[in-house]
């Protein structure tokens, strides 16, 4: 992720993202792989539900916490 303000991944939304949705499609991704979607407060639930019904959703983390995790990774 860049230092620029991240934008929500929802279609047509230009709001600043505050959540990271980590997901994995077991048919095409290795189990430890994490794809990420960004979400604003308004779209977090919608995007989480989209991934959830497909069984892809692994984690929903505040953006700040996600960045802290990335930085602390060896």
Q: How far is the CB of 13 from Zn ion (least distance, A)?
A: 3
The pattern of x and - marking residues 22 through 51 that bind Zn ion according to CB under 5 A reads ------------------x--x--------
Number of H helices, E strands in the chain: 2, 3
Distance spanning both ends of the chain, measured CA to CA: 17
Q: How far is the CB of 39 from Zn ion (least distance, A)?
A: 6
In the bound state with Zn ion, the residue whose beta carbon lies nearer, of 14 and 73, is: 14
Of the candidate spans 15-23, 24-32, 46-54, 62-70, the one that interacts with Zn ion by CB under 5 A turns out to be 15-23
Q: Residue for token digits 């991704």?
A: 29
Contact 47, 38 (CB under 8 A): no
Half-sphere exposure of 64 (CA within 13 A, CB side): 0
Residues that bind Zn ion (CB under 5 A): 8, 10, 13, 15, 40, 43
């Amino acid at each position: 992720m860049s230092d620029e303000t991240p934008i929500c991944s929802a279609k047509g939304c230009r709001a600043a993202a505050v959540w990271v949705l980590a997901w994995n499609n077991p048919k095409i991704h290795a189990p430890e792989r994490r794809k990420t979607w960004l979400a604003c407060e308004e779209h977090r639930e919608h995007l989480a539900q989209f991934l959830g019904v497909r069984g892809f959703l692994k984690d929903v983390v505040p953006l700040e916490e996600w960045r802290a995790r990335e930085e602390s990774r060896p």
